[in-house]
Structure 1
Amino acid sequence: MSAAPAGATGPTGIELWGPVADAVDLRVPVEHRVPIAVVGAGAIVDVAHLPAYRAAGLEVVGIHDIDATRAEDVARRHGIDRVYGSLDEVLADERVQVIDVAVVATAQPDIVRAAVAAGKHLLCQKPFAPDVTTAEELRDLAEAAGVRVAVNQQLRFDEGIAVARAVAEAGWIGEPTALTVHVDIATDFGAWPWLLTSDRLEIAYHSIHYLDAIRSILGDPTSAYCAAGRRPGQAPAAETRTMTTLRFPSGASAGLHVNHENLGGDARAEFRLDGSEGSVRGELGMLLDYPHGRPDTVELFSRVVPTDGWVPFPVTRRWIPDAFAGPMKGLLRWIATGEPAPTSAADNVGTLRLVEALYASIASGRAEDVDR
């Protein structure tokens, strides 16, 4: 492990992290808050969306799910006044300016089309669409109607990832050269029965988080390579282990090693961003004790600041539920100010193109160009 240059006595604690703390703030200004309705009452809405919105001071006025009993139960426990009997009722509610859509990718496009026609702004679940062509259609439809559509790629706003991005943008690690993610865990995909029979799994529904976060730091890659596999006897039909390499125009690279079939109990969930003048490293605590989770850890070594060795950031939030306020905050700011959300539909098409390039690489056995 590298040490700071001899004699370095750089700032520590709040003195160091003040500017970065401002950059990762998830509070939503009062003037940006508008009434929200939720379509979908699954577990992630229950444990992440609604707690995050409540903590951010946002008003959820109603919820709808095709399972009315489930919707009523979630509404009761979260103090939501109205349970809509249909999507049409949601769209007809004049109070609602934003709809948070939390359904499977195949069901989402029709909801988006109907909501755009009704003039409702949208935060959509990831993946935004089952394929790039459909995503581009929905993006264009919303833009033509003047409707704001963002995607719930919330790992960008996880405190550890947000700190790493802010540090890179501040120039504290010099020119970014490599970003690595290593996740070695045991995941019970039986919690999502529909995933067990899906022909796509790890990349489309899990590593899509890391791919989007990497894009938020390094931009769009030019090429991508992925090898995927399964553990004999596993329950899911699709890939549960992937090894991915990305190359960027700057010469930087990214590597992802993700395994959901760890039988040994020695879980890892680590990320590291290296630059010409330093590094940021940490753990994604949520994955080490899912679904309860732990706080992230984040540390900085910098010859720019400079730091005296590795200096920890005082993490106070978790990926679930806290980071879920991030995509909604970006959408609400977009509606209020015209500044596009970081996870806008237009941006998210880039994440979906990367997903498609990785599946193409798995099929071809070689690196694939990433459409831009």
Structure 2
Amino acid sequence: MLDLLVPIADDVRIEIPATHRRPIAIVGAGAIVDVAHLPAYKAHGLDIRGVFDLNADRAADLAQRHGLPRVYGSLDDLLADDAVEVVDVAVVPWAQPNVVRAGIAAGKHLLCQKPFAPDVATGRTLVDAAENAGLKVAVNQQLRFDEGLAAANAMVRRGWIGDPVAMSFTVDIDTDFSAWGWLVDSDRLEIMYHSIHYLDAVRAVLGDPHRVFATGARMPGQLPKGETRTVSTLVFDGEVRAVLEVNHNNRAGDARAEFRIDGTEGAIRGTLGLLYDYPHGRPDTLRVRSRSLPTDGWLTYPVTTRWIPDAFAGPMAGLLAWNATGRPAPTAACDNLRTLALVHALYQSMETGEAATLQSP
């Protein structure tokens, strides 16, 4: 049966041909750049020209450890470097729109952090500005490139479980948010900065829902201002549904981080290994059971890469391929506005206590 898995592995392998590569500079020298962006880019032989951060010492340390040739003295210096064609933006959310505007004015293609913008209207203006300038902007929604989830999506596309009818994420972990002071102070937390990953992954498989419902809560005495427990229900056309149940306050030590896709001819289930011992994690798992193959029980797909750092090459690969071939990236900002709209519809539901209709961005 293992020969069945070869085309799936081929479908999900992240490759960046030499003809697609362009010189890249990074804005932001935080932990995620250190442990995810730069290792992923190095593994694919990308040309990283340098980094800028408001904390010059942090940028210099990052550059020294990763062998980057230049530390820029300012954002203007980075954007004035004619050798740089692509800018990877890895800054706090409220700073990103201004960096994106400056990058567009300087004629750079951009890979942005999620959430792409604080609201859909701001995101729309950024997308319009990039399109008017003939520039490509994508969003670093890397979970859809995680090998386990990407393989599950490939199995769905190949019809292994028939027509998909349901998808779920169950995440029950204990998260210490104190390392991110800006997150602790955020009025919106869980869906905006965590479940946005799962919502984008659901969209990659099922498309866009038309109606949603969400409820959120805090743990008594918790440090963060925002919600740390959420349940979200997504209603799609016909009989297709998705449910996300996420808790960051597991006090029992029995962590779970699971997803499942059910179809008319079978099911796929897997785990997100990163969340069992974040940030170190463990390997993902993925199994499929199909009446159409048939798989003779649950067939294991051997996941060989990790969400961090490996999946972080995916959004950049998509942006570079878009620039080289004209084929829009899977996480192109114009499409990612729909993920952003979904996030805001869920908050609308949470605040009103009623289901919300998803508005087209």
The TM-score, its normalising length taken from structure 1, stands at: 0.96
Is the partner of 1:83 in helix, strand or coil? coil
Q: How does 1:179-198 map to 2 (within 5 A)?
A: 179-198=167-186
Structure 1 gaps, min length 5? 1-11
In structure 1, give the amino acid aligned to 2:341. R
Is the partner of 1:106 in helix, strand or coil? helix
Q: Which position in structure 2 is the counterpart of 1:262?
A: 250
Q: Distance in 2 between matches of 1:371 and 1:20?
A: 34
In structure 1, give the amino acid aligned to 2:36. A
Q: Does 1:365 align with 2:361?
A: no
Structure 2 gaps, min length 5? none
Q: Which position in structure 2 is the counterpart of 1:36?
A: 24
Q: Which position in structure 2 is the counterpart of 1:287?
A: 275
Q: Does 1:200 align with 2:227?
A: no
Q: Distance in 1 between matches of 2:283 and 2:16?
A: 22
Q: Which position in structure 2 is the counterpart of 1:45?
A: 33
Q: Does 1:240 align with 2:228?
A: yes
In structure 1, give the amino acid aligned to 2:6. G
Q: Does 1:220 align with 2:208?
A: yes
Deviations 1:201-254 (A, max 9, x none): 000000000000000100000011001001001110110000010011142100
Q: Distance in 2 between matches of 1:243 and 1:283?
A: 19
Q: Which position in structure 1 is the counterpart of 2:156?
A: 168
Deviations 1:99-158 (A, max 9, x none): 000011110111111111111000000100011110000011101111000000000000
In structure 2, give the amino acid aligned to 1:301. R
Q: Which position in structure 1 is the counterpart of 2:298?
A: 310
Q: Which position in structure 2 is the counterpart of 1:9?
A: none
Deviation (angstroms), 1:57 = 1.2
Q: Which position in structure 2 is the counterpart of 1:5?
A: none
Residue of structure 2 aligned with 1:300, choices 288, 292, 309: 288
Residue of structure 1 aligned with 2:120, choices 132, 140, 164: 132
Deviations 1:176-222 (A, max 9, x none): 00001000000011111111111110000000000000001000000
Q: Which position in structure 2 is the counterpart of 1:58?
A: 46
Q: How does 1:32-111 map to 2 (within 5 A)?
A: 32-111=20-99
Deviations 1:321-365 (A, max 9, x none): 000000000000000000000000001100000000000000111
Q: Distance in 2 between matches of 1:204 and 1:292?
A: 23
In structure 2, give the amino acid aligned to 1:296. D
Q: Which position in structure 2 is the counterpart of 1:20?
A: 8
Q: Which position in structure 2 is the counterpart of 1:8?
A: none
Deviation (angstroms), 1:304 = 1.4
Q: Distance in 2 between matches of 1:152 and 1:250?
A: 31
Q: Distance in 2 between matches of 1:251 and 1:300?
A: 22
Q: Distance in 2 between matches of 1:149 and 1:106?
A: 18
Q: How does 1:302-341 map to 2 (within 5 A)?
A: 302-341=290-329
Is the partner of 1:53 in helix, strand or coil? helix
Deviation (angstroms), 1:96 = 0.5
Q: Distance in 1 between matches of 2:320 and 2:293?
A: 34
Q: Distance in 1 between matches of 2:238 and 2:61?
A: 50
CA RMSD of aligned residues (A): 0.6
Q: Distance in 1 between matches of 2:72 and 2:308?
A: 26
In structure 2, give the amino acid aligned to 1:208. I
Q: Which position in structure 2 is the counterpart of 1:347?
A: 335
Greater shift in the superposed pair: 214-223 or 244-253 = 244-253
Q: How does 1:142-153 map to 2 (within 5 A)?
A: 142-153=130-141
Q: Distance in 2 between matches of 1:304 and 1:19?
A: 17
Q: Distance in 2 between matches of 1:250 and 1:17?
A: 30
Q: Distance in 2 between matches of 1:278 and 1:195?
A: 39
Deviation (angstroms), 1:23 = 1.0
Q: Distance in 2 between matches of 1:240 and 1:144?
A: 39
Q: Distance in 2 between matches of 1:306 and 1:286?
A: 30
- The percent of aligned pairs where both chains have the same amino acid is 62
Is the partner of 2:243 in helix, strand or coil? strand
Deviation (angstroms), 1:94 = 1.0
Instruction: Give the number of equivalent residue pairs.
Output: 360
